[in-house]
C-alpha cells in the first residue's frame, strides 16, 4: 500500500474554514490545536497566538525557534497594537570584527550572524499587555509536545532533511550540537516519525516559570554565553540582559476601500504598502485584462523592492522617512515608470528564508497577526547544548559596506523580512493575514490582498492561487502549476519567466476574516504547508 506523504499527483482543494466563536490558523496542525486549547480554556486571541507560537518552536523547528525574532499586529479591545520583537547586533559584532575573521561579507551560518533573539520576550510582552490567562498556562501545550513527542509533518520533514545536508558541509565543532539535538540518529526524522526533546521541554518550562526572563537574565542566558565564549562567538549575556521588544504604531495604505496595515521598519512591510499604493494610483481596480493586472503587480513590487532594499534599516537611521516613501505623489511618480515592458529595477536582490506565520481570532472580536522566524530555516546552525535552543542567523542581512543604509553596527537591528499584515475597513477590523518566506513575504502579501480585494476570492482560494516570485532584474519565478498562457504572456512583455519544479519557496500563509453580518469567521490555511485553520 503506498504511504509516501509527499506523493501528491493530483490537484486538490481545501474548503475555507468557518467558525462562529474562534479561529486558529497555523502551518502545523498540532500548533493550531495548541492555540485552540487555550481559547477553550478561556484565553483570548493573544493567549492563543502565544501558545501556537511556542508550539511551533517544537513542531516546526525547520522555520522558527526560541532563538529567533517575532513581530505581531493585534486588534484587541477596539484598537490596533504593533510589536517589533527583533533583536539587535551584539556589542562586539562590528564590521572590523567580521573582517578580522576573514569575511568580506556577513557569513550565512555559524557564530557571527547570531543576533539577540526577541521571540521569548515578545511572547511575554504580548501576554502582559494584551493577554488574559497566566503566562505559564500558555506554554503548557508546547511543553507537552516537546516531552511526549509529535509525529513530524511531511513538509517539515523535507526541510529538516535539507538542513541536515546544509549544516553537514561544516566541520567546525560548534555545529555538532545541532546534530546532537536535531539528528541524533545521524539523519533528519522522516515524515510520520515521532520526535521529542526533554531538554527543549525543560527550556520551555524555564520560560514559562519566569515569563521568559530566564532567557535574558537567568540560567539560559548563562548557557548561551558559555557556548559563545567556548567557540569564539560574540553574543554575550550582557547583550541579552536589557533586551525588550518595542511597541510600535503600524503603517497603513488604503487599497480598494480597505486599509492595509504593516509594521514600520526595520521590517519590510513598507514594500508591500508601497506596491499597493502604486497600484492604487494606477486605478488598478479598473483593469479587466489579467495579463496587464499581473504585469502591473510585478512591476510595482519590483519598484517597491528597489526602494525597500536601499532604504530600510532602523527607522532613526533611514535617510528618508516612511511618510515620504508612502506619500501619494511619490508613489504616483514611481507608478508612472510602469509601462508595457518589464523594468530593470535599480537596487538589490531579494533573499530566501524560513519563517512561520499564524493568525488567531476569539469570540470577543480580538484578532492577532503573528510571525516568528530563525531567518534561514533553523537559522545559524548553532544550538545551545542542553537547551534545544537553535539560534537565528538574522545578522546575515547586515551589510559590511560603509555606504550601505543597512550597515552592520553594534546595537542596530538588521533589515527584517518577516512581516505580519492586517486589514481594516472604515475603522473596523476585517482580519489578520500573512505569507511567510524571506523576501517572498511582501510579494505574498501583495498577491493575497489583490486576490481578495480585486478578484473577490475567499481566504482559502486566495492562498490556493498559483504564485509568482520576482528574484532579480527581469526574472520572475512561477510555481509548477502556474498557468502557461499567463507565463507566456509575461515573457512577451520582457519578463524572464522561470517555472520551478517545487512550491516550497513560494511562501506559506494564513488568513482569518470577520463576517460580522453572519456572526462568524472565515479562514484559509496554506496548501503548501502542513497546517490548517481550526474553528471553534
Query: What would the 3-class secondary structure string for 313-381 be?
Result: CCHHHCCCCHHHHCCHHHHHHHHCCCCCCCCCCCCCCCCCCEEEEEEEECCCCCEEEEEEEEECCCCCC
User: Is residue 228 a contact partner of residue 236, using CB atoms and an 8 Å limit?
Assistant: yes
Global confidence as pTM: 0.95
Domains and CATH numbers, the chain: 22-247+354-397 (no CATH), 250-352+436-521 (1.10.246.130)
Coil, helix or strand at residue 87 = coil
- Helix 29-40 to helix 45-59 angle, to the nearest 10 degrees? 150
Q: Is the pLDDT of residue 1 over 60?
A: no
Please tell me the number of Cα atoms within 13 Å of 65 on its side-chain side: 31
Burial label, 87 (beta-carbon count in 10 A; 0-12, 13-18, 19+) = buried
Coil, helix or strand at residue 238 = helix
**Comparing C-alpha atoms, which of 235, 230, 343, 243 is closest to residue 297?**
343
Which range among 1-15, 66-80, 281-295 has the greatest average pLDDT? 66-80
457-504 tens-digit pLDDT: 999 999 999 999 999 999 999 999 999 999 999 999 999 999 999 898
Q: Identify any residues that bridge with 70 across adjacent strands, giving them in sequence order.
A: 85, 372
Longest dimension (CA), the chain: 63
Q: Is the pLDDT of residue 9 over 80?
A: no
Q: What percent of the chain has pLDDT over 90?
A: 87
Coil, helix or strand at residue 230 = helix
CA 277 remoteness from chain centre: 22
184-219 tens-digit pLDDT: 988 999 999 999 999 999 999 999 999 999 999 999
Q: Which residues contact 8 (CB under 8 A, 6 or more apart)?
A: none
Please tell me the number of Cα atoms within 13 Å of 53 on its side-chain side: 36
418-427 tens-digit pLDDT: 999 999 999 9
Q: Is the pLDDT of residue 62 over 50?
A: yes
Amino acid at each position: 500500500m503506498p504511504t509516501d506523504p509527499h506523493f501528491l499527483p493530483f490537484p486538490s482543494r481545501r474548503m475555507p474554514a468557518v467558525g462562529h466563536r474562534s479561529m486558529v490558523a497555523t502551518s502545523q496542525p498540532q500548533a493550531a490545536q495548541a492555540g485552540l486549547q487555550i481559547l477553550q480554556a478561556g484565553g483570548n486571541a493573544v493567549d492563543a497566538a502565544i501558545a501556537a507560537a511556542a508550539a511551533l518552536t517544537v513542531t516546526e523547528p525547520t522555520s522558527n525557534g526560541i532563538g529567533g525574532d517575532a513581530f505581531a499586529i493585534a486588534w484587541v479591545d477596539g484598537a490596533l497594537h504593533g510589536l517589533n520583537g527583533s533583536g539587535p547586533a551584539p556589542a562586539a559584532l562590528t564590521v572590523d570584527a567580521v573582517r578580522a575573521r576573514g569575511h568580506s561579507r556577513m557569513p550565512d551560518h555559524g557564530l557571527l550572524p547570531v543576533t539577540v533573539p526577541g521571540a521569548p520576550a515578545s511572547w511575554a510582552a504580548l501576554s502582559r499587555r494584551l493577554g488574559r490567562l497566566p503566562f505559564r498556562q500558555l506554554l503548557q501545550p508546547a511543553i507537552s509536545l516537546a516531552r511526549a513527542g509529535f509525529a513530524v509533518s511531511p513538509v517539515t520533514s523535507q526541510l529538516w532533511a535539507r538542513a541536515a545536508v546544509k549544516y553537514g558541509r561544516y566541520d567546525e565543532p560548534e555545529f555538532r550540537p545541532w546534530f546532537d539535538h536535531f539528528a541524533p540518529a545521524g539523519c533528519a526524522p522522516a515524515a510520520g516519525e515521532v520526535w521529542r526533546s526533554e531538554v527543549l521541554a525543560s527550556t520551555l518550562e524555564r520560560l514559562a516559570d519566569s515569563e521568559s526572563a530566564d532567557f535574558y537574565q537567568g540560567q539560559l542566558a548563562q548557557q548561551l554565553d558559555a557556548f559563545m565564549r567556548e567557540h569564539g562567538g560574540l553574543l554575550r549575556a550582557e547583550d541579552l540582559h536589557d533586551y525588550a521588544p518595542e511597541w510600535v504604531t503600524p503603517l497603513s495604505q488604503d487599497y480598494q476601500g480597505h486599509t492595509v496595515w504593516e509594521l514600520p521598519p526595520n521590517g519590510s512591510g513598507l514594500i508591500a504598502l508601497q506596491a499597493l499604493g502604486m497600484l492604487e494610483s494606477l486605478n488598478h481596480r479598473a483593469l479587466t485584462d489579467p495579463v496587464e493586472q499581473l504585469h502591473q503587480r510585478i512591476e510595482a513590487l519590483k519598484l517597491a523592492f528597489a526602494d525597500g532594499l536601499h532604504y530600510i534599516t532602523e527607522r532613526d537611521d533611514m535617510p528618508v522617512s516612511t511618510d515620504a516613501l508612502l506619500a501619494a505623489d511619490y508613489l504616483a511618480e514611481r507608478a508612472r515608470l510602469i509601462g508595457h515592458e518589464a523594468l530593470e529595477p535599480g537596487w538589490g536582490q531579494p533573499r530566501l528564508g524560513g519563517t512561520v506565520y499564524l493568525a488567531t481570532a476569539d469570540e470577543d472580536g480580538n484578532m492577532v497577526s503573528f510571525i516568528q522566524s530563525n531567518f534561514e530555516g533553523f537559522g545559524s546552525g548553532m544550538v545551545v547544548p542542553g537547551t534545544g535552543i537553535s539560534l537565528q542567523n538574522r545578522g546575515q542581512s547586515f551589510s559590511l559596506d560603509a555606504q550601505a543604509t543597512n550597515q552592520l553596527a553594534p546595537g542596530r537591528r538588521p533589515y527584517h523580512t518577516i512581516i505580519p499584515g492586517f486589514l481594516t475597513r472604515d475603522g473596523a477590523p476585517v482580519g489578520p493575514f500573512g505569507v511567510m518566506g524571506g523576501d517572498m513575504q511582501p510579494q505574498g502579501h501583495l498577491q493575497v490582498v489583490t486576490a481578495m480585494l480585486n478578484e473577490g476570492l475567499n481566504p482559502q482560494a486566495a492562498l490556493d492561487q498559483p504564485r509568482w516570485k520576482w528574484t532579480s532584474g527581469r526574472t520572475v519565478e512561477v510555481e509548477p502549476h502556474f498557468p502557461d498562457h499567463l507565463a507566456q504572456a509575461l515573457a512577451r512583455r520582457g519578463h524572464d519567466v522561470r517555472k520551478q519544479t517545487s512550491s516550497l519557496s513560494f511562501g506559506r500563509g494564513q488568513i482569518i476574516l470577520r463576517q460580522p453580518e453572519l456572526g462568524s469567521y472565515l479562514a484559509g490555511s496554506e496548501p503548501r504547508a502542513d497546517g490548517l485553520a481550526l474553528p471553534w
